[in-house]
Amino acid sequence: MNRQAQSSQAGKRKNILIAGLPTGFINGLLGSGGGSYLVPQLTRRLKLEQQKAHATSLIIIMPTTLLSLAVYLFKQPLPWSMLLYTIAGGCIGGLAGAKLLTKVPGLWLGLVFGIILLISGCRMAWAGFFG
């Protein structure tokens, strides 16, 4: 039943470190995507079930994001007016998404999401390194 109790204290600490440090680093370096690394770590290493891992990753990302943002603000002012649009859209979508999370399996959504990521990723890498 309680699989966490079986693993040793040292193993647990190592797992937390491997799950936590890169999450923060990715979040800081790329501004997003820490959660994409964190969720599978939470399910595999810390044995959370999928939905709990998703939910828990959200609250772990919040303070991490605040710190990254604070560092960014020293170098780069934010486009505030655009931020208002994105937050308005994001809040509407976020509420819908959290409700859908418990109802939709997300398999096909994952495929569509993956293909969009592949295409935009190739374009960005190309523009960044060769553009």
Partner 1 sequence: MIVFIGSILAGVITGMGMGGGILLVPLLVFFTDTSQLGAQGLCLAFSIPTSALAAWSLYRQKKLEIACAKKLVPWTLCGALPGALLASWLSSSVLQGLFGVFLVFLGGREVYSFWQKKGGKK
- Residues of this chain, 39-98, that bind partner 1 according to CB under 8 A: 39, 42, 46, 48, 51-69, 71-76, 78-79, 82-83, 85-98
User: Is residue 7 involved in binding partner 1 (CB under 8 A)?
Assistant: no
Residue 10 binds partner 1 (CB under 8 A): no
Instruction: Output the CA torsion sign for 82, 85, 91, 93.
Output: negative
CB of 42 to partner 1, least distance (A): 7
Q: Measure the CA dihedral 83/79/76/29, to 10°.
A: 40
Cα 4 from Cα 14, distance rounded (Å): 13
From 11, 14, 44, 115, residue interacting with partner 1 (rule: CB under 8 A): 115
Q: Does 11 bind partner 1 (CB under 8 A)?
A: no
Nearer Cβ to partner 1 (11/92): 92
Tokens describing residue 130:
């060769």
Phi, psi of 46 (to 5 degrees): -105, 5
Closer of 11 and 51 to partner 1 (Cβ): 51
